[in-house]
Chains A and B, each alone.
Chain A
Amino acid sequence: MAAQTCVDVRNEWDIVSARQLGRDLSKELGFSSVDQARITTAISELARNIYLYAGKGKVCIEPVKDVNRSGLQIIASDTGPGIQDIRKVMQDGFTTSGGLGAGLPGVKRLMDEFSINSSVDIGTEILITKWLR
């Protein structure tokens, strides 16, 4: 199976490239069109957050296997300002940019697995997975 593929995120066009990659890989793995849209949307959210809040970072996508299932894993990482209160940003409607504040809690619902690691001034890493049904 293909190895990890990464897209550097520095501008809005890179967000489009990142989600195009997610779209292609999820299609290749046989995800339903709804799940393809979920994965693509989740990547769009994380990549946009990187662009907006950290300035730059990267999105890496790779097919993964568990004991009895396979899926797609996405790691969005940056060395930006980090997130002080993770509980807060995971609440629907919390935003520091006048957005909807729906991105992160939305990504959690779009995907099967969601974990976030962030330290102030060091950066943020978010790992999400969707399993094939």
Chain B
Amino acid sequence: MNSTAFQVIKHNRLSIIERWQEEMSNFQEGERELTHVTREVFLNANTEFIDKLMAQVTNDHETISPELKDFFERTIQIGWPLNYITQGLQTFLRVTLQVIMDQDFDKEEAFKIYDLLDRSIDGLFNEIVQYTTHTWKNTISVQKMALLELSAPLIPVFEHITVMPLIGTIDTERAKWIMENLLEGAIKHRSQVVLIDITGVPIVDTMVAHHIIQAAEAVRLIGAKCILVGIRPEIAQTIVNLGIDLSEFPTRSNLLKGIEAALELTNKKIETLS
């Protein structure tokens, strides 16, 4: 930053901090995420924020200081709203501008100072945007993984009989997961019959049908039988309209019928004790 700007901020350090503190002290009101934060903790955070921000700006670093970065990251990690930080930065810009305007600079000089300050705050904005998008992306991919695992579980129901209920929309990624999970599980449980239940799949288009056919074939290759269950009537119609031939694959209308067939195939029987 050019020396005048630097001087002005340094000189007016205390009044900038004071005004900033005053404006930011109201921030807690109306912020749902901050309702359980005690006043003391909040004000301490404010002090830490402005001290580190002031150090950052007056030290005239090109990049964000590790201390400020650490403060931003901690604030976000404990779940404080992102606009606490953005508002803090904007308030700093506004308050400092007021201080600059109170001095006797000519317009051009004042503008220059403001521009420099603005640029340095901009860098901080970029930093925070980058950090948060990175965090969100991570969170989303973790959730996606959790969802994947939830959406196609492999359940051993009896010895050698395994059920995989499919729930929800199947996209390429899920299809791959289903296939891997199916084969791995079928081998692990030494399944002789695998039932794929598609009751929870909203529509079966050619891609979904293709994946199901491939999964059934793969199950066959590892020496097990695959039974497709839960084809709803309207789905059966669309499959026929699409011209997809499922006649090679054993199908049953529902899971119960499928399990009965599987028991028969594995020479088992369920009897009611009299």
The interface of chain A, by Cβ under 8 A from chain B, is 12-13, 15-16, 19, 33-34, 36-38, 40-41, 44-45, 48, 92, 99-100, 102-103, 105-106, 109-110
With the chains together, A40 CA to B237 CA distance in Å?
13
Q: List the 8 closest A-B pairs by CB distance, nearest first.
A: A106-B242, A37-B234, A44-B205, A34-B234, A12-B171, A41-B238, A109-B241, A102-B206
* Cβ-closest chain B residue relative to A33: B234
The interface of chain B, by Cβ under 8 A from chain A, is 169, 171-172, 202-207, 209-210, 233-235, 237-238, 241-244
> By DSSP majority rule, is chain A's interface helix, strand, loop, or mixed?
helix
With the chains together, A85 CA to B211 CA distance in Å?
27
Q: Given A12-B172, A100-B210, A109-B242, verify A48-B205 contact (CB < 8 Å).
A: yes
B residues in contact with A36, CB < 8 Å: 234
Given A100-B209, A102-B244, list of 12 further CB < 8 A pairs? A13-B171, A15-B171, A33-B234, A34-B237, A41-B203, A41-B242, A44-B205, A45-B206, A48-B205, A99-B207, A100-B244, A102-B206
Q: Decide: B172 and A45 in contact? CB cutoff 8 A.
A: no
Q: Which of B171, B172, B203 has the most CB of A within 10 A?
A: B203
With the chains together, A103 CA to B204 CA distance in Å?
12
Q: What are 19 A-to-B residue pairs whose CB atoms are below 8 Å?
A: A12-B171, A13-B171, A16-B171, A19-B203, A34-B233, A34-B234, A36-B234, A37-B234, A38-B238, A40-B203, A41-B242, A44-B205, A45-B205, A48-B205, A92-B243, A99-B207, A102-B242, A106-B243, A110-B241
A residues in contact with B233, CB < 8 Å: 34
With the chains together, A112 CA to B224 CA distance in Å?
41
Q: Given A33-B234, A99-B210, A102-B242, verify A41-B171 contact (CB < 8 Å).
A: no
Q: Decide: A105 and B243 in contact? CB cutoff 8 A.
A: yes
Q: Decide: A38 and B207 in contact? CB cutoff 8 A.
A: no
B residues in contact with A48, CB < 8 Å: 205, 207
Q: Decide: A37 and B243 in contact? CB cutoff 8 A.
A: no
A residues in contact with B237, CB < 8 Å: 34, 37-38
With the chains together, A16 CA to B201 CA distance in Å?
13
B residues in contact with A33, CB < 8 Å: 234
With the chains together, A15 CA to B233 CA distance in Å?
23
With the chains together, A91 CA to B204 CA distance in Å?
20
With the chains together, A106 CA to B205 CA distance in Å?
9
A residues in contact with B238, CB < 8 Å: 34, 37-38, 41, 110
Q: What's the minimum C-beta distance from A95 to chain B, rounded to whole angstroms? A: 9
Q: What's the minimum C-beta distance from B236 to chain A, rounded to whole angstroms? A: 9
With the chains together, A60 CA to B87 CA distance in Å?
41
* Cβ-closest chain B residue relative to A11: B171
A residues in contact with B235, CB < 8 Å: 37
Partner of A103, one of B169, B171, B206: B206
With the chains together, A110 CA to B242 CA distance in Å?
7
B residues in contact with A110, CB < 8 Å: 238, 241-242
B residues in contact with A92, CB < 8 Å: 243
With the chains together, A36 CA to B202 CA distance in Å?
11
Q: What's the minimum C-beta distance from A125 to chain B, rounded to whole angstroms? A: 20
Q: What's the minimum C-beta distance from A51 to chain B, rounded to whole angstroms? A: 10
Q: Decide: A102 and B243 in contact? CB cutoff 8 A.
A: yes
* Cβ-closest chain A residue relative to B209: A100
